[in-house]
Amino acid sequence: MSRLSIVIFGATGFTGKHAVRELVRVGKADSALTWGVAGRSRDKLQSMLDETSKATGEDLSSVKIIVADVGDEKSLKEMCSQAHVLVNCCGPYRHYGEPVVRAAIDGKAHYVDVSGEPQFIESMQLEYDQQARDAGVFVISACGFDSVPNDLGVIHLQRHFGGTLNSVESYLTTQAPAEGRTSGAINYGTWESLIYGLAHYNELPALRKKLYPERLPTFKPKLLPRSVIHAREDGWCLPFPGSDSSVVYRTHRHLYEHEHKRPVQIKTYVKFPSLLTALSVALAAAFLFLLSKLSLTRGLLLKYPRVFSLGLVARGPSEEVTRNTHFKFELYGEGWEAGADVEATPPNKKVKAQVSGVNPGYGATVVALLHCALTILRERDSMPKEGGVVTTGVAFRNTRLIQRLCENNLKFEIVNDK
């Protein structure tokens, strides 16, 4: 039985529906692309395809429907055996991701997802990297808003630095319509992943010690964290709690260990327009962290997301809000000019890159996700010879993925070169 180019699992979920619609759009330019959708209910999958066909004006009657359930190992293996690349949109990945990763490896299908959950991502590397290598497939998480802009953004900055890049400080800024504060700007699935991530944050140190029992050498100057709340240019900033910094670390640790490249250090932050907003977010984050630690209060957070998020979380934000939400990552790089003695002289060069787009949660995310999948199909020879559980930076740094993302409204650019 011939394999489909791409199968989207969890296609009836909020992210999955957007991924299907994006695949319809990009598929118009590639007549050789074959694809299918998968999930628990054939009826819901058919209804989703009917809605997508009506919205896009495209005939989707030939799209294959595959019934698969994370609780049914046989169905997962049958699904993966029909795909060259499996796109997994079924989260939270902490609960539902591992059986799909295992089935993809057993079925020799490449795997991509949009997880922003460090515990899941790093556990999969620890448990399945060698198995994926033996199967000759890639398992690549964080192929969306977490963490393509930062991971590939650092690769882009390093490529255009014109010397030796030592460190990067990344600042995320978002602008959403005012109605998002009442009608919702964040999908419930993202909220659920956040709450469980906070609840189990203390698992990470032990996990990382198993994953990397030997520490990297210390490279100087060491990039130190800024104060919890600090000013930078036009805003007030807090540490960014996502998976980006750990993903970038994994990329550059891999490049150091396998290609002897000096690793780039990174610290990630999120920027707000005023000190009051930054203080309010910091207090809210501390409050959520404490509530997530007890099962009773964690249950309340999950049951009443709109209350605890002050209206920001909804089970499916409106298209109007998501389409008009803009974001940018400002990447401040520091290092040495070409030819400088990096061991004996302080850094003498700064370059700023920027990654920007719209609809970070569901627009830019599914664009990045699907172009990661398409790049595996189209440029396998430009990727590492072995497969494995790797980052986007490791997998795609020698491909044309960044160029394709720029052509699809996820813009990578150098904005300041000093």
Summarised one tens digit per residue, pLDDT across range 356-389 is: 999 887 789 999 999 999 999 999 999 999 999 9
Triad 302, 112, 352: Cα angle to 5°: 90
Tell me the pLDDT tens digit for each residue of 90-128: 999 999 999 999 999 999 999 999 999 999 999 999 999
- Average pLDDT over the chain, rounded to an integer: 93
- Round to whole Å and give the CA distance between 67 and 75: 7
Rounded to a whole number of angstroms, the CA Rg of the chain reads: 21
Q: What CA–CA distances, in Å, run from 348 to 132, 232, 261, 329?
A: 42, 20, 20, 23
Q: Do 80 and 170 reside in the same domain of the chain?
A: no
Q: What is the pLDDT of residue 315?
A: 73
Q: What is the pLDDT of residue 418?
A: 61
Q: How many CB atoms lie within 10 A of CB 310?
A: 11
Triad 187, 43, 24: Cα angle to 5°: 60
Q: What is the pLDDT of residue 181?
A: 55
Q: Do 121 and 169 reside in the same domain of the chain?
A: no
β-strands 235-239, 230-232 pairing: antiparallel
- Round to whole Å and give the CA distance between 234 and 304: 34
Q: What is the pLDDT of residue 416?
A: 86
- Evaluate whether 145 touches 246 at the Cβ level (below 8 Å): no
Dihedral sign (CA 131, 134, 137, 140): positive
Q: Do 186 and 319 reside in the same domain of the chain?
A: yes
Average pLDDT of span 33-53:
98
Q: What is the pLDDT of residue 176?
A: 78
Q: Do 226 and 337 reside in the same domain of the chain?
A: yes
Residue 370 CB-density burial (10 A; 0-12 exposed, 13-18 middle, 19+ buried): buried
Triad 144, 148, 150: Cα angle to 5°: 135
- Round to whole Å and give the CA distance between 389 and 143: 13
**DSSP designation for 397:** T
* CA torsion, ordered 160, 122, 368, 100, to nearest 10 deg: 150
Tell me the pLDDT tens digit for each residue of 245-277: 999 999 999 999 999 999 999 999 999 999 999
- Asked if residue 75 has a cis previous peptide bond (ω within 30° of 0), the answer is no
Residue 184 has pLDDT above 80, yes or no: no
Q: Do 190 and 70 reside in the same domain of the chain?
A: no
Q: What is the pLDDT of residue 239?
A: 96
Residue 178 has pLDDT above 70, yes or no: no
Residue 349 β-bridge partners: 335
Q: How many CB atoms lie within 10 A of CB 413?
A: 13
Q: What is the largest CA-CA distance in the chain?
A: 66
**DSSP designation for 351:** E
Q: Do 129 and 235 reside in the same domain of the chain?
A: no
Residue 179 has pLDDT above 70, yes or no: no
Give the pLDDT band (50/70/90) at residue 172: very high
Average pLDDT of span 389-410:
97
More confident residue, 256 or 317: 256
- Round to whole Å and give the CA distance between 316 and 190: 11
**DSSP designation for 203:** G
Give the pLDDT band (50/70/90) at residue 1: low
Residue 151 has pLDDT above 60, yes or no: yes
Give the number of domains in the chain.
2
Element (H, E) at 336: strand 326-337
Residue 180 has pLDDT above 60, yes or no: no
Q: Do 353 and 301 reside in the same domain of the chain?
A: yes
Backbone φ, ψ for residue 50 (5° rounding): -65, -45
Q: Do 107 and 213 reside in the same domain of the chain?
A: no
Nearest to 253 by CA among 244, 242, 262, 245: 262
CATH number of the domain at 11, please: 3.40.50.720
Average pLDDT of span 204-228:
94
Give the pLDDT band (50/70/90) at residue 226: very high
Q: Do 265 and 177 reside in the same domain of the chain?
A: yes
- Round to whole Å and give the CA distance between 273 and 361: 21
Q: How many CB atoms lie within 10 A of CB 40?
A: 16
- Round to whole Å and give the CA distance between 289 and 297: 11
Domain that holds residue 214: 148-360+403-417
Please state which of the ranges 124-138, 193-207, 332-346 shows the lowest mean pLDDT. Answer: 193-207
Q: Do 258 and 312 reside in the same domain of the chain?
A: yes
Q: Do 192 and 89 reside in the same domain of the chain?
A: no
pTM: 0.95
Give the pLDDT band (50/70/90) at residue 192: confident
pLDDT cut 90: percent of the chain above it: 82
Please state which of the ranges 40-54, 83-97, 249-263, 296-310 shows the lowest mean pLDDT. Answer: 296-310
CATH number of the domain at 260, please: 3.30.360
Q: Do 349 and 249 reside in the same domain of the chain?
A: yes
